[in-house]
Amino acid sequence: MKKFIIISIILLALDQFTKYIFTGKEYLVGSFGIYYAENTGAAFGILSQMNIFLILVGFLVLFLIFYFYNDVKCKLPFILIFAGTLGNVIDRLLFGYVRDFILISIWPIFNVADMCNTIGVLILLYCFWREDKTYKQKSHKK
């Protein structure tokens, strides 16, 4: 649990610091760079203007991660998703929107918390795939 807290605090601090530094900024090189935006929705702008609902979902995610953390083998994705969710929930509570600033032309504008969530989900999917593959190999040997 100590590792969970330390890594979460570091990622949360990085997220909030970068959001603070790049608020209102624009540094573009072609279609890449820093372009500040305020997102009142979730990923890809879905559920726009549903801040209360998104805060409640965020708190549910935080609770579930904290509750199940000790029971899982693959802990890193839970840490990443926890830190990313908390970073965006803090924004929603303080500002009523999430501060995004990283622009890559083929993708919607995002932030460090979004990167934590995305990487965490990808690692979690890999862990599920690996666990399923191991389970299937063990069940075929019987």
Return the active site residues.
100, 114
Cβ 109 vs Cβ 103: under 8 Å: yes
- H helical segments located in 23-111: 51-68, 76-95
The residue type at 106: I
Residues 6+ apart with CB under 8 A from 109: 35, 37, 39, 100, 101, 102, 103
CA dist 134 and 121 (Å) reads 20
